[in-house]
Structure 1
Amino acid sequence: MGIYPGGKSTRIDSPRHLTIRHSRRVVAANRADARLNAFQSVTVLADGKIVEDEIDPLPPGEQKLNSFWAPGIEAGPKHIISVKQTIQANGEQLNLEAEQPFYVDAPQFSLPDGSVHSTYPPAGYSDDHRILPHVVLTDPHLPWERLGSPKGGTNMDLKAQMKRVALGADKASSIPRNRVPWLVVLAFSQDELRLPPEDLDGAGSIFSGTSDGVLKPVKQSSTMTVNMSIDDLWKLKSDVTTPITDRLGPPSMKDSRGDFIFVQPGLFTSLFSTFDDKGNRVKGSGPDTSQYKYLSHVRKINGSGMALAGVEDTAVFSIVVGNRSGPLDNVIPTTMCAHLVSIEGVEAMSYPGQNHRYVALCSLYSWNYTVLPPNTLNVPDAFKHLGRTLDVLRAPDEVIAPLKASADKAQQLVGRRLSDGYTLVKYRIQTGEATVALYRGPFTPTYVPTLEHLTKCSTSGVDLQILDKNLGIMDVTYSVAWQVGRTMALGDQAFVAALGRVRTAVHAAAAKQVKINAIKEVKDTAFRTHDDLLKDLSSMVKGLADIHLQKRGSEPQEPGEAPDQRKPGRPVFRHGGAKRRWHHKKLQRRDRPTLSFASPLFEDKYPAAAMDSVRKLASSRSGDPYDETNDPQSSDWMTVLSWLIDRMFLAGVPAHYLIPDPSYLQPENLRFFHIDRNWVDALIDGALSLGNHFGTDEDRVAIKKALNDYIGRTPDGMAHRVQIPAYGFYLRSDLVTMFPDLRVEVLSNDSALKSAGQDPPAGAPLLRHEIVADGVMMAFMDRVPGSAQFSSLVFTQPAHQQRFAVARGLDTTEVNVNIRRQYTVDQNTRETDKDRHKALKEIKYTPTGEKNIFIWNSVPNQSLNDLRILRLPAFADVQLKVLQDMMGKQEGTDTSYFEDNASTSALFAMQLNDPIYNLTINMADASKTAQAIAGLAPPDIGDGNPELRTINMMEAVRVKKLSAPGAEVSPAPAENDPHDEDEHNDASREDTFMRAADYVSPLDVVSNYLSPHVRAMPLHQGPSFSDSDKIPTNSQQGTDGAVPYKVKPPESEPASAPRFLIRVSSNLADNHSQVVLDRFNLPQDLIFSIILKQSEINQYLLMEVTIDIALGSSSDATYALMSNYTGPGAHMLTNLRFNVIPTTFHDQNQDKYYLRIRLLPRAEKGWVMAPAVPELSFLLGLASINAPGLGTATAMVQSRARYCRNPALPLVEPNVMIVDNPPLSVEVVMH
């Protein structure tokens, strides 16, 4: 819902918009003070105004009323732009004229989404008959965007008149103070709008001439409207008239649709007529809409403490009030239909005649409400009831009390758990059995301290479960919180991506720093960083000169100096050839530290390095920590930090995790709670568990420490730390539905704080304030309820959602009006009037009296009570006359409290306002209220300042390693290791970088030095075998070295082994039997088509299919398909139940290399039923094929299958049978 701020928007789309906007406002105020104190130059406009940001243009609790906000040009009729230009050249003059017609685009028959902010009474709710329904619109210009009364002139005329007044040509009194809107609120009973059946359907229906766009039979909605197009509206029978004509818009208007009500002619005439002093209807030449100019106005309010309007510092609304009350003599509740009706074109039509049955009016918004009999609803009593129901959030006392009073010890224990806010939930353990568990949401009825055992991060949340040893029931509270955090993080793609990038950046920088530090601890010059190089710039020139001036060995070794230790000032470079000058000596193998992530050296240094890396990411561009009031160094950290703080505000947590049982929050109740910081810790830990790829998750701990730095820091220009909610309340009441922007104030006891030597709270009073469901309000604070920081809680009706009533008293016999005091002076002068809260004058009117301000009956003195409308402008004139005569002046001065000479809609709205009620709850007294919330405060409340709510689960999670720490350390080499010889010993050798002319790179070298983006399988990956038929076995196979049993597949026996039909070809659509090469002979994909021919009744258990391809060069006597395979690997084409694994091995008997491709089933048992395998086709990627010497060649490929004999026995020999397939001939053709 969009809120119009009346200026620069301060809206922040965040669940923490209250705290963020408060922080930015404080920082902006401090910066403004700093500019003034430093006499910093500012921009001054021509009229002397200083250009400066508005900090808070409207104080909290104040409102500003305007009679109307009219746009510069109205919508509706056609406008014409006329342009005239005079061109003079060479003594000649040319006059050019042009015209362009246009229409202003504005709502006409329907409202855009979000236009209605609220209504009163709310849809479906009830109120007494005095109340006038009204609509609050989010667009303050909307009621005046079209002309409600053309007699009052256009908006352009108004603008020109105001311009003449500004120039002194006219008097200010000539400017109209009111303007008729085109939208009015009309209330009807359902019987007044309900159409009889014969008018809805049949030959005599008023809709008989409409198109198929009007569904037949016609049905009215719940608010008695009928939806149709304007074209169909004009096709209604002639006894239905309407103010909507083709003069109100462009020709395309007829295709627009809207909702229409059908008003009886007599009622329509009364609604648009004036009445004399005796109550008689006065009909003019046509309908009169001027009375409705007193029923629309604009209100600008301060949105602090409001759930909906509080998204902006200030909000501007337009309000349209109805003029008709509910039934006065009803003995049962009566349903009323309120309609926001367009009166555009009403003044241009004639009154309906005797031949008209209905007047069709367009309803842009409608709702139903109920009018109750007298004395059945009292708003003050509703507020008082909320104060009496104040308690903490848990199961009702009538449920807990019997359990605590029971003689059964188990029931007593359950009662205690329920008293602490727990509930019993269904829980399914890991083995699948359903049982019961204890669960409590983050909102607790008692203070929950930091739990000492919840200090370690978790990988699954299971270790966060707590067993209640007395009840024997598992407490899954924090385990559920962990899973909720992880699930919410997985559902936010932006957060997961940002967290992954933050983790990558942290680990890369930290690992690099740890490795550099470890190397430099062994030898300072073994690795030179950019900073090290810059530090040596001062001595580099001298060092370069010393390379040529000094002789080898001229600088003797100092006694006791380590051979690889460089003294300060000694040059890094040494004389010699280019190789010696620019390539530093590498560390000897025995001096190289172990730099694996699991090494003890790495684990000791990594946490500090990770913390340094995170703090660099968490900084702002100015170098200070990022605190959401400055510019971030890393946008990813900004995303992660904002998401984590939002979760600490419990934003987005599903409601059933917050309130685990509906009985905790019953209707018409106010419930306070403490926010369990352990629950929030588990939620954050679950979210940060994503993206970890290491056994020891130090990155998560580093991110949490950076988060704690943010929480514990006081930003520059602020007097308080970052605010994190610790307490809150739920309010469930119909008052929340009636007044969605019910204003909430958290007040402190300033006198108690002053006597204790403390300052008033500097932070935002409300940290989160939302309407979470219909009639349910939630608010968070960081102050302890009942302390001097939070001594009282006040609920007040909002300024823009107050009730409007005809008078203080209204019935069939009289109307009792209290003319209220109104002021045109400032607040300080106003407070000098000691009677400012008393009514100025009480006036009573009766239906038979004269000069009434209320019209009871359509026919005077008939006691019909059928009209019930305000008589305007008589009522507004009476108010103005009383104020002018009785307000008086300030005592001892000539300053009048009220000075005005015109009745306006803003002034009249203050008279129609029902009294504003508020509920003040004293949280610090010794009453039942204080006793109910006493358990929320910590044992040592201290001065009541907000506690520091940092993350507590800071111990890194560690996965148990398969090897002991340090087992991966490389053994020290022998003393005479040739790699450790000092380079000084080969000084006489000449440096050279030339490569021998006949040098040919070996295949293994070529495959090991590929581009970074090339994936390749290394050569000689598999082991060497002396038996070419031996298949490399996995961990389940035997190692006894016995030769497997081999048989040949029979040709035709029902129980014979499956036959494998194998073909190898290029990846071509028209050739499935050859490998085709072109003259470029680039690496290509090979398709291995494998079809199984077998009997459906065989019971062979397939374990593996192996394909061997001999490797060799094109110059060998026997043609080999490939010389080597270094491609990206192979993958299955359709049968994804198998894995394809290529590897190379060496046949020692033939001294030959083979490419072996193994097809293994994805089965835990190691085999699959052969009849379930129809095919095993796969693709071998980017194979380099040897070019045939004569244009064509044939390569032989061997294959075999391995089966299990008995599935009940281990998969070791002799329980394995190998069946060779016939050799396969692969034809290679060069095109």
Structure 2
Amino acid sequence: MGPDLQTSDPRYLVKLHEHHRQNPLTAEAFNDEEALAPDEQRFYSVYGPSLTAGQRTITATQDVVDPEGNTFTLSNSQTFKVVAPRFNLPPSDVHSFYPPSGGTVSLNMLPHIVFKDPHLPWERQMGASTPPKDGSERARIPWLALWVFRPDELVSPGTGIFAGKALSSTRATRLKVSDVIRAGTSDICTPYKHDEASPDEEDSLADFICVNRHLFQALCQSYKSDGSPTGDTDLTSYGYLAHVRKVGSEALKAAAASVTDDCFSVVIANRTGSSQNQDSSSLGAVAHLVSLEGIDPSFKPSSDTELVTICSLFSWTFSYTLQDDEAEFANALKAIGTPTSGLEWLRPSEDKYAGLLSAQEADRQRVGKRIRDGYSLTRYRTISGEETIALQRGVLIPTIPSANTALNKPIHLFSTQLQILDTEIGLVDNSYASAWNLGKANALADEKFLSSFVRLRTTVYKRALLAAKAEVMGSQDGAPAALKRLISATDSLLKLSDAKKDNKLKWSSSVSPERDDGLSIWGEKMRAEFANAVNTEINKLGQGLSAELYDGQNNPSSSDWAAVVAWVYDALFLANVPWYHLFMEPSSLPPNSIRFFYVDPTWLNAYLDGALSIGNHVEGDQDSVRAAIKLQLQTFFATKNTKSGYQPQVPISGFLLRSPLVADFEDLGIQAPRKTKDSRATILRRVKLAPDILLVLFDRALNNVEFPQGIEICQPPHEQCFLAYNGKIEDGKIEMAYRNITTKSASPDNVPMKPFDTRVPKPSETILNSQYGIVLAENLAKDVYDFLTNRPGATFSETAPSSALLALHLSYTLAKLSLTLPPLDPDHLVGDFKITMLAVQDLHGLGSQYKKREKDTRDNLQRLLHDATPRRSENTQGSIYPSPRPPYWSVISRTVPDDREELGSDSGTQTPASPLPSEPQYVLQVYALGYKLFNDPSGAETRVPHDAKGPLNLVFGIQRRQQAVDTPYALRRMAIHIPSETNGSVNSFLLGYTGPGAYMANNIRYIPGISCPVVANSEAAEVIVNLTARSKGNITTSPKSCLTMFNRELTFVLRQVSLNVLPQTLNAVFTIKMSEYYRDSPIPITSTAQVKLVETKDL
């Protein structure tokens, strides 16, 4: 693997694949043996280091002959220390372990631990327990062993150095090593001794466990062939429980393994969950990786010793189960699916939309289709503050996206330009707007990308501006034209010096959209030349040093451009996209499931457009630099790499896997072969979104043409499980099930690892110590060796049993799940990704009712400001220009709304026939925001504080009456008449109104407008708040959204209200009239509400 590749890189698999293609000699650098297939592995009994830990002396000698022929020898010695772990093991050395922490396995499963360092089990030299035997080098005793205990088997004496020390969750105690070595007593002993060469190690803290002497002796003694113990301390059996396995590089690439080497060392436990001491009501277990250092024939705990203190280097807890003896991996695969179950798509559970799809109403069916297509209903607050609901979907969608068509706009100024309004159900789709905002936020948060992108923008802008000016100047008529421009500039400066300084001038514009053809960037000629110059400059920066297009592998001419390309490429691999922007609905991915999806290219386009929108400080909405950058990026993704021969791979599909397997197996195998002769990477990215959720991305459509061999999920070879026995144990007999472990080439008659049909019963005590559940590894290895060498037609020619042989015998058969993909559908093809196309797709066949929400562009915004000419205001001090309100505030009119304007049908379709109500459908209550709500049981009166200091925000709570039936009445407008005078009349509730306006509390289907009609004495007699249906023309543009059955509440807030707080109005009751206008009838349905002004204490 290249030195610059990191597994945290989103494109790690793609880069690793390309590195192996360009450096094939380094793919199998371990040795010169034949390369391994992804599902193959090679076992080694021992892979010890050249030098074991400890103090070593190297001596160099040289025979020297002087000119006289005299010979003498020169020598020099150097003492050095080989360092290796002793009492503490770095957590990074552990690659994985099984069972997982907190997991559950069957009683006959042997726990194991996998190390990244293939030398680790043999880095420390162990003393010989017995004289060397034939083949003993193939079962070299490691200094590590994996012991399994019941929690009640590990206790603390509570005295001496253990006094006041608490036990950890794995029943270990943290102690100083030197204290343990010196604290040998008659009750407690330890095999560790003081080492003069390693004083620092003994000053450190380590974890220790206290093992019962009888259990310790059972674990550390040899056994005869009949299973009876010898009573002698002998660790020979542990030499058969450690081995090394080498896996194919392709398997590690497909698993995105966190290690660069393809060799792993494995240590297997020698104790099962079944023993005579096992309590069926307590199946908890603790696994400890212990140090065997110092345990030799000379170490014999006396009969007075109760506990033996052993150092624990790594530990975890798990549980056994009595249910069945099948491996957990196979069970978990079955829970995910079967080869014939078909593909399940990433969408909410069916119970969330099935009822809507079967409904009679068209709008309910439409909502059901949206939910089926991956949408969720989310809370949404409009720019004016109203809270409502909206549709939203993440980048992972359950449908094939439509191919991008011609450009709508190369850039977008605001995220709201990407909102989509479904006028049939009155809901806004915020999917692409949220993607735009997320892209911008992530770009601003990435300091490295931000600085590179702004520098790139600045460089392109400055160079292009100079080039455009030079081009325009060269095309002018010399000195006369230059003099004309100089005179024009002088006149403009004189006008500016006479202008009155006023910050409020920024809200009005007297500049005509028509520009002259000077050197301003907004000039017609200058604009065209600048756009051409921008494209030219970005093309130059997008080249490599060798004058060819920068492709990510050659040297760039601009480091800033390379940084931008890398960030954008990572973004297409969903880097830094939060999981809740991947899919919105948690029920889309239930436990023990696999869900397939496509990547929405329009979502990615919006995300990138938001990210590339930063740094536009000059051009405003004419962001030609951003448009040019996107075009150059499109060239990058559309151009074939000269070395690889194919275009950059971009994810377009994938799947999410939620299963305990993701947490249990660090390098879960995923295989998805390509078509023949297709050398591109098979998997683009795999990353854990959560401990049990795995995301896998492909650059292919999900069909059997792109996946000719389907998708296979398998157990990683280097994390294979081990079973103590496959047969049954009954009446003191164990059925031995053997495999065809062969040393000869495979053939139809010699299939490696194929189980033999014959099962040989043998006394169980020869293989398994029933008292403690200890597997007699040495006896088992000899039994397997004898069977393979003595059977008729033997194909096994090893000279002695070994740890590799026993590991093969104990290995559980690799479980796999193969998924077949559906056939290719020619009517639904996936197009190539195009970064420059931002057309919003009609993915659901909604037709004209699925509209892109249009926002103000530069032209109509200029026109809006140009029309808002300055007007004089008597109330403005220091300036003659009033400050305008934001566009979403209510506009106060001085005229009464004319119903005839609303009844016109030129701007919309006719209202469908609907009945008119005979009585009011809504009830009104008024109260002050922030004050206690008066609860009148009859509901006839509401109260507002008379003694409030300053203006109030009044809430007009309008709710549908409880007795109203669900008849589809079309509410065109609602008017609330509030008595108001400025002459201090006791009959007025308000003292006029000059506040900022009103806003809807939670129903955005209606817009509040305020009118203060003027009477004869030029004083307002009432304030009228009109709630009008949100539409561009007649109400009938969206008739269903105005039905009373869909508008159960029309509450609004009238801000900054000044009440008529005269002494005479205290405890006075005022009547507020509410008029409801339905369909095309000019006659309203009228009701009233009573409001009383009281002191705050009476609320």
TM-score, normalization by structure 2: 0.68
Structure 1 residues 406 and 901, CA gap change in structure 2 (3 angstroms): same
Aligned partners of 2:117 and 2:34: how far apart in 1?
22
Amino acid across the alignment from 1:281: P
Aligned residue in 2 for 1:1179: none
Aligned partners of 1:783 and 1:305: how far apart in 2?
20
Aligned residue in 2 for 1:1075: none
Find the partner of 2:81 among 103, 127, 136: 103
Aligned residue in 1 for 2:835: 950
TM-score, normalization by structure 1: 0.61
Aligned residue in 1 for 2:296: 347
Structure 1 residues 449 and 668, CA gap change in structure 2 (3 angstroms): same
Amino acid across the alignment from 1:399: K
Max radius of gyration: which structure? 1
Aligned residue in 2 for 1:929: none
Matching of residue 521 in structure 1 with residue 500 in structure 2: no
Find the partner of 2:123 among 134, 139, 145: 145
Aligned residue in 2 for 1:72: 50
Matching of residue 185 in structure 1 with residue 146 in structure 2: yes
Offset from partner CA, 1:200-232 (integer Å, 9 cap, x none): 2xxxx2xxx33xxx7x53221111111111122
Aligned residue in 2 for 1:253: 201
Find the partner of 2:716 among 787, 798, 801: 798
Aligned partners of 1:136 and 1:152: how far apart in 2?
28
Aligned residue in 1 for 2:286: 337
Aligned partners of 2:21 and 2:446: how far apart in 1?
32
Tell me, what secondary structure is at the counterpart of 1:598? Answer: coil
Aligned partners of 1:112 and 1:947: how far apart in 2?
47
Q: How does 1:316-327 map to 2 (within 5 A)?
A: 316-327=263-274
Aligned partners of 1:125 and 1:722: how far apart in 2?
41
Aligned residue in 2 for 1:819: 738
Unaligned runs of 5+ in 2: 487-516, 841-854, 867-876, 884-995, 997-1057, 1059-1099
Matching of residue 939 in structure 1 with residue 827 in structure 2: yes
Matching of residue 292 in structure 1 with residue 238 in structure 2: yes
Aligned residue in 1 for 2:450: 496
Aligned residue in 2 for 1:1130: none
Amino acid across the alignment from 2:10: P
Aligned partners of 1:54 and 1:467: how far apart in 2?
64
Are 1:71 and 1:141, in contact at CA under 8 Å, matched by a contact in 2? yes
Aligned partners of 1:359 and 1:324: how far apart in 2?
18
Aligned residue in 1 for 2:17: 22
Aligned residue in 2 for 1:421: 374
Offset from partner CA, 1:768-825 (integer Å, 9 cap, x none): 1122221211101121112311241111111101101112125464433222112334
Find the partner of 2:393 among 426, 435, 440: 440
Amino acid across the alignment from 1:606: F
Offset from partner CA, 1:631-686 (integer Å, 9 cap, x none): 22222111111111111111111111112122111110110111111111111111
Structure 1 residues 587 and 182, CA gap change in structure 2 (3 angstroms): farther
Aligned partners of 2:155 and 2:34: how far apart in 1?
50
Shift of 1:123: 0.6
Aligned residue in 2 for 1:911: 809
Are 2:41 and 2:246, in contact at CA under 8 Å, matched by a contact in 1? yes
Are 1:761 and 1:789, in contact at CA under 8 Å, matched by a contact in 2? no
Aligned residue in 2 for 1:589: 483
Matching of residue 778 in structure 1 with residue 695 in structure 2: yes
Tell me, what secondary structure is at the counterpart of 1:304? Answer: helix
Q: How does 1:864-943 map to 2 (within 5 A)?
A: 865-886=770-791, 888=793, 897-924=795-822, 939-941=827-829
Aligned residue in 2 for 1:1176: none
Aligned partners of 1:434 and 1:152: how far apart in 2?
80
Greater alpha carbon shift after TM alignment, 946-955 vs 666-675? 946-955
Amino acid across the alignment from 2:283: T
Aligned residue in 2 for 1:636: 560
Shift of 1:488: 1.0
Aligned residue in 2 for 1:124: 102
Aligned residue in 2 for 1:855: 768
Aligned residue in 1 for 2:755: 839
Aligned residue in 1 for 2:359: 406
Structure 1 residues 253 and 940, CA gap change in structure 2 (3 angstroms): closer
Offset from partner CA, 1:89-124 (integer Å, 9 cap, x none): 898999876655443222211221321111111110
Amino acid across the alignment from 2:424: N
Are 1:295 and 1:320, in contact at CA under 8 Å, matched by a contact in 2? yes
Offset from partner CA, 1:676-704 (integer Å, 9 cap, x none): 11111111111111111121211111111
Matching of residue 609 in structure 1 with residue 533 in structure 2: yes
Structure 1 residues 311 and 361, CA gap change in structure 2 (3 angstroms): closer
Are 2:5 and 2:12, in contact at CA under 8 Å, matched by a contact in 1? no
Shift of 1:317: 1.4
Q: How does 1:83-482 map to 2 (within 5 A)?
A: 100-150=78-128, 176-195=137-156, 199-200=157-158, 205=159, 209-210=160-161, 217-233=164-180, 234-235=182-183, 237-247=185-195, 249-284=197-232, 287-304=233-250, 309-310=256-257, 315-327=262-274, 331-332=280-281, 334-347=283-296, 349-375=298-324, 379-388=329-338, 390-450=343-403, 455-482=409-436
Aligned partners of 2:879 and 2:4: how far apart in 1?
68
Offset from partner CA, 1:598-646 (integer Å, 9 cap, x none): 2111221223322221222122222221112222222211111111111
- Which of the pair has the greater relative contact order for Cα pairs under 8 Å at 6+ separation? 2
Aligned partners of 1:623 and 1:55: how far apart in 2?
42
Aligned partners of 2:243 and 2:237: how far apart in 1?
13
Aligned partners of 1:297 and 1:743: how far apart in 2?
21
Structure 1 residues 56 and 843, CA gap change in structure 2 (3 angstroms): closer
Aligned residue in 2 for 1:764: 681
Aligned partners of 1:799 and 1:53: how far apart in 2?
19
Aligned residue in 1 for 2:513: none
Aligned partners of 1:515 and 1:673: how far apart in 2?
50
Aligned residue in 1 for 2:461: 507
Aligned partners of 2:576 and 2:34: how far apart in 1?
30
Are 1:301 and 1:314, in contact at CA under 8 Å, matched by a contact in 2? no
Aligned residue in 2 for 1:724: 650
Aligned partners of 2:220 and 2:590: how far apart in 1?
46
Aligned partners of 1:475 and 1:709: how far apart in 2?
31
Structure 1 residues 51 and 309, CA gap change in structure 2 (3 angstroms): closer
Structure 1 residues 308 and 22, CA gap change in structure 2 (3 angstroms): closer
Are 2:222 and 2:235, in contact at CA under 8 Å, matched by a contact in 1? no
Are 1:456 and 1:957, in contact at CA under 8 Å, matched by a contact in 2? no
- What RMSD in Å do the two structures reach over aligned CA positions? 3.8
Aligned partners of 2:200 and 2:666: how far apart in 1?
39
Tell me, what secondary structure is at the counterpart of 1:261? Answer: strand
Are 2:129 and 2:236, in contact at CA under 8 Å, matched by a contact in 1? no
Offset from partner CA, 1:578-616 (integer Å, 9 cap, x none): xxxxxxx99853599622222111221223322221222
Offset from partner CA, 1:407-436 (integer Å, 9 cap, x none): 454433322111010011111222222221
Aligned partners of 1:701 and 1:152: how far apart in 2?
78
Aligned partners of 1:830 and 1:704: how far apart in 2?
56
Aligned residue in 1 for 2:944: none
Aligned partners of 2:805 and 2:135: how far apart in 1?
19
Tell me, what secondary structure is at the counterpart of 1:283? Answer: strand
Structure 1 residues 818 and 225, CA gap change in structure 2 (3 angstroms): same
Aligned partners of 2:764 and 2:748: how far apart in 1?
41
Are 1:304 and 1:310, in contact at CA under 8 Å, matched by a contact in 2? no
Shift of 1:491: 1.3
Shift of 1:385: 2.9
Aligned partners of 1:432 and 1:236: how far apart in 2?
74
Aligned partners of 2:206 and 2:30: how far apart in 1?
46
Aligned partners of 2:185 and 2:774: how far apart in 1?
30
